[in-house]
Structure 1
Amino acid sequence: MMDHPLRATLAAELHARPFLKVAESVSLTHYAIYAEHNVAIHETLLNSLCRDTGVPAPEDGATHYAVLSPCGWYLKWERHTEFSTFTFVIPREDDDLFDDVAIRGIPESWFRQLAGSRFVASRMELITGPRVDSARDAVRQWIDGPILVGSNVLGGGQVFCDWHVRPDGFMRFLVIDEGFREEQGGRLLQRLYEIETYRMMALLALPIARRMGRELDDIHSSLQSLMQSMDVQATDSDDSQLLVKLTHLAVRVEALSGSGGRFSASRAYEKLVLARINELREERIEGMPMIQEFMERRFAPAMETCRSVWSRHEQIAARIARAVDLLRTRVNLAQEKDVTRLLAGMERTARNQLHLQHAVEGLSVAAISYYVLSLAAAAFKAMHVLNLPIEPELAEGLAIGPVVLAVIVVTRRARGRLLKRNAADNAHVGRHVNQST
């Protein structure tokens, strides 16, 4: 086999999520499911839907699935990193827009499984053919939110929405087909619900940013107080306490870093939203804002808040790190001063001990010499009693010089060995002090 094992999989990724193919008026219902602590819910919902509606289930591990159900609707399911989407599409021939026709035949038990995880719910109507003019004239009948957003898109149609969640839990989009080319209608519907889905996923960082902003305010206030305390002459114990407090602030800031993944994902989703809006190629309809303008006024400030909070978090983390380094340097300098004073005291003690040793050494030489000469005098007197030709007084006098000289030599050798041992001990103490600082 010549191909790499991953070639087929990676090549197929380009065609993994094809656009909707729509050539007539359709009604579309779109759900985005997000359950942070229940990853299995996405496949569970899909398998349950297939079982309850009589359609075949996808293969295990599938990330996208499309099937036509016996109820008449077409299902497009996609599994994304954090969420999954269920899109139901069915042809429409009547004028009773934004009803449940696209999800007809799905049992109520399946919708109950969405409790707490339905993150996006949108209803879209694509109107083509002779009903275009009447639908355009009745826009305000179907989309009656506080602000009507609309624009000419893709050079062949119009989009109207209000980005308002209605009491039934759905957001509405009305698309007028005035001459879309082949498959443009399906692509437009998909881009619209992707804009809303990615927008909501991007905004997941906003509540975190608001909570983090309040926490950063408290940390910043504490840091300012500690920095002012650092500027005041303080004792070593005060510096140690400041270092402990700064370390505690560093721990609090580091704990906030756990949200970095959420902010990074938010930036990625924001880019997708902006890319999908640019793909609409909007042109203005007089009297109402375009989707891009609406997002710049409402969506962009929220994303800017997220960016500014995360940037502030990084700045405060850097300030705390610098403050810790400065304070640690000051503590180290104080410790080095203490070590210097300790070594100077040890040096003075050693000098005093040396002077005392010299004095004791002189006395020791005299005492030892006197003791040795006394023993020698007793020995000389004993030899004289034995009638040996020795004069005790003369012999004792002659022995004074050699005895004193010998005692001096022995004493100096002993002192030399003691000095070498003390020098080795002091060097060991110095190395231990340096390692501890």
Structure 2
Amino acid sequence: MSAFKEHPLRDVLANELHTRAADEITAPAQISQFAVLTGEDNNRAIEHLAELCARMGASAPTTGANHFTTDLGGLVVRFERHTEFCSYAFVRRGRTGDMPFERPPLTAVPDDWLATLPGEVLAGVHIVLEAQDEPEHSPEELSLRHFSGNVLIAAAVGGGAAKAYSDLRLDADRFIRFLVRDVNLLPSHAGRTVQRLIEMNTYRALALLALPQAREASPVLREIDLALADIAQRMADPTNLEKDADLLRELSSLTARVEAIATTNSYRFAASRAYYQLVVRRLEDLRQGRLGERLTFSAFMDRRLTPAMTTCKSVADRTEALSTRGSRVVSLLRTRVEVDLQAQNQRLLESMDHRARLQLRLQQAVEGLSVVAIGYYMVGLVGYLAKGLKGAGVLEVSDTVVTGLAVPVVLLVVYLGLKRAKKAMGLEEGE
């Protein structure tokens, strides 16, 4: 044991490389697989699988396990837990018979257990792996025997080590059928081929989950696009008398709708792109070759799946473009509103300045009257004082003369006194 300190996730990260290794399968064999959409809270799936193992006398998975494989008495079950779905595969080895799809491995699983699966089944396949020594039929006969006469998609896979056939349609029990004929398959190669077909179908279904949302969002985006263009045109029209506040309110409502669509669909669209890349990779890993004039799985997916993914990408791009355009128009309108507000504020300041000047003039007029009024009362006091002094014989001149001479002096004193008081309070004109 090394003395250095290890990261707590070292074992988890190392084991992750081996968690999805394909089981070795020897032809002949039958496989039933289905994917259950559970969402990210899929702990109930482990408990449900443990119930099946207990009923069939097998060891149960540990709590929190992401991968689990066990033998249920001739029926091998392989469980995988992913981010938003769980995958169940049931493998039965041995001769498949003339009509191998009539009794797939899933018929050995209790119906009541299947009925209580946590989540909803999104994709499922029945795969028959035929041995080399079993009778080989022509594609036309295979179509009639196993695929209800439907047009087959076929390819030589694994560089010619096997032949794979399917109509990629749901059969009567709601599963897609694949017939794989062993030409020169090693057990490990057979396991990888089966796993790639399963993952191609599962990821194909998961990728297409975004298509209904894209179709639902497309006409709404078109409506918002037209409304946004109309608002931009009304903004540019100099004869338009609508208030900017009304336009901004309408524009904010549109941008909110765009953001709601983006928020609702962003996860699904991103997941769809990732799943589509996995489908493309699994198709490449199959190393397909043509069988006659029939479409290969890659050609079929390119014709049917790629346009759907292009639609989803187009809607995602339109949503992002509308969000960007809406933000630009909102920014432009807000700038215009701010300019108008600044002009209004400027006019308000000018009006306040004008009122302040009028108030100052009124104040100056009132101050003049105040000097006169205060001077009048003070002159009256001087007159009373002069009369008293005259009556006491102290003052020899007339009290009227004293009062008259006191008028300019009193007015000057009052004026200087008020001016000094104003200066002390910082009310001098210009300050």
Q: TM-score if structure 1 supplies the norm length?
A: 0.89
Verify the 8 A CA contact 2:26 2:93 in the aligned structure 1. Answer: no
Deviation of the 1:389 alpha carbon: 4.3
1:430 alignment counterpart: none
1:408 aligned to 382, 401, 415, which one?
A: 415
Deviations 1:216-269 (A, max 9, x none): 122223223322332334788722122112222222222221221111111111
Aligned amino acid, residue 300 of structure 2: F
1:226 alignment counterpart: 231
Verify the 8 A CA contact 2:44 2:118 in the aligned structure 1. Answer: no
Mark the CA change 1:214 to 1:42 in structure 2 (over 3 Å): closer, same or farther: farther
Q: Are 2:52 and 1:45 equivalent residues in the alignment? A: no
Which whole-Å CA distance do the structure 1 matches of 2:429 and 2:55 have between them? 91
1:81 alignment counterpart: 83
Q: Are 2:152 and 1:148 equivalent residues in the alignment? A: yes
Which whole-Å CA distance do the structure 2 matches of 1:60 and 1:36 have between them? 18
Deviations 1:170-220 (A, max 9, x none): 111111221124510110000101000011011111111111112212222
Residue 242 of structure 1 aligns to a residue whose secondary structure is helix
1:97 aligned to 92, 95, 100, which one?
A: 100
Verify the 8 A CA contact 2:39 2:83 in the aligned structure 1. Answer: no
1:431 alignment counterpart: none
Which whole-Å CA distance do the structure 2 matches of 1:46 and 1:137 have between them? 40
Deviations 1:11-60 (A, max 9, x none): 11111122021122111111111144974552243123213322221111
1:200 alignment counterpart: 205
Mark the CA change 1:234 to 1:39 in structure 2 (over 3 Å): closer, same or farther: farther
Which whole-Å CA distance do the structure 2 matches of 1:421 and 1:311 have between them? 67
Mark the CA change 1:386 to 1:236 in structure 2 (over 3 Å): closer, same or farther: farther
How many residues are treated as equivalent by the alignment?
423
Mark the CA change 1:349 to 1:288 in structure 2 (over 3 Å): closer, same or farther: same
Q: Which runs of 5 or more residues in structure 1 are unaligned? A: 425-437
Aligned amino acid, residue 148 of structure 1: L
Q: Are 2:340 and 1:334 equivalent residues in the alignment? A: yes
Q: Are 2:178 and 1:176 equivalent residues in the alignment? A: no
Q: TM-score if structure 2 supplies the norm length?
A: 0.90
Verify the 8 A CA contact 2:156 2:163 in the aligned structure 1. Answer: yes
Mark the CA change 1:107 to 1:15 in structure 2 (over 3 Å): closer, same or farther: same
Mark the CA change 1:178 to 1:37 in structure 2 (over 3 Å): closer, same or farther: closer
Residue 98 of structure 1 aligns to a residue whose secondary structure is helix
Which whole-Å CA distance do the structure 1 matches of 2:118 and 2:83 have between them? 20
1:432 alignment counterpart: none
Aligned amino acid, residue 203 of structure 2: Y
Deviation of the 1:104 alpha carbon: 4.2
Verify the 8 A CA contact 2:386 2:395 in the aligned structure 1. Answer: no
Deviation of the 1:132 alpha carbon: 6.1
Verify the 8 A CA contact 1:236 1:331 in the aligned structure 2. Answer: no
Q: Which runs of 5 or more residues in structure 2 are unaligned? A: none
Verify the 8 A CA contact 1:52 1:107 in the aligned structure 2. Answer: no
Which whole-Å CA distance do the structure 1 matches of 2:407 and 2:360 have between them? 27
- Which of 214-223 and 275-284 deviates more? 214-223
Kindly report which structure 2 residues correspond to 1:142-291, keeping only aligned pairs within 5 A, or say none.
142-144=146-148, 146-155=150-159, 156-233=161-238, 238-256=243-261, 257-291=263-297
Residue 131 of structure 1 aligns to a residue whose secondary structure is coil
Which whole-Å CA distance do the structure 2 matches of 1:416 and 1:255 have between them? 64
2:142 alignment counterpart: 139
2:406 alignment counterpart: 399
Computed over aligned residues only, the root mean square deviation of the Cα atoms, in angstroms, reads 2.7
2:365 alignment counterpart: 359
Which whole-Å CA distance do the structure 2 matches of 1:16 and 1:343 have between them? 74
Verify the 8 A CA contact 1:150 1:159 in the aligned structure 2. Answer: yes
Q: Are 2:42 and 1:32 equivalent residues in the alignment? A: no
Which whole-Å CA distance do the structure 2 matches of 1:172 and 1:340 have between them? 77
Aligned amino acid, residue 309 of structure 1: V
Deviations 1:254-312 (A, max 9, x none): 22212211111111111111111111122222301111111111001111111110111
Residue 133 of structure 2 aligns to a residue whose secondary structure is helix
Verify the 8 A CA contact 2:27 2:182 in the aligned structure 1. Answer: no
Aligned amino acid, residue 293 of structure 2: G
Mark the CA change 1:417 to 1:276 in structure 2 (over 3 Å): closer, same or farther: farther
Deviation of the 1:338 alpha carbon: 1.9
Deviations 1:103-143 (A, max 9, x none): 34322212322497121121111122212634768432323
1:58 alignment counterpart: 61
Which whole-Å CA distance do the structure 1 matches of 2:151 and 2:119 have between them? 28
Which whole-Å CA distance do the structure 1 matches of 2:186 and 2:264 have between them? 47
Which whole-Å CA distance do the structure 1 matches of 2:429 and 2:21 have between them? 85
Give me the identity figure in percent. 34
- Which of 238-247 and 300-309 deviates more? 238-247
Which whole-Å CA distance do the structure 2 matches of 1:132 and 1:320 have between them? 65
Q: Are 2:302 and 1:296 equivalent residues in the alignment? A: yes
1:117 alignment counterpart: 120
Aligned amino acid, residue 307 of structure 1: K
Q: Are 2:323 and 1:320 equivalent residues in the alignment? A: no
Which whole-Å CA distance do the structure 2 matches of 1:235 and 1:357 have between them? 46
Aligned amino acid, residue 355 of structure 1: R
- Which of 289-298 and 38-47 deviates more? 38-47
Aligned amino acid, residue 33 of structure 2: H
Verify the 8 A CA contact 1:145 1:164 in the aligned structure 2. Answer: no
- Which of 257-266 and 226-235 deviates more? 226-235
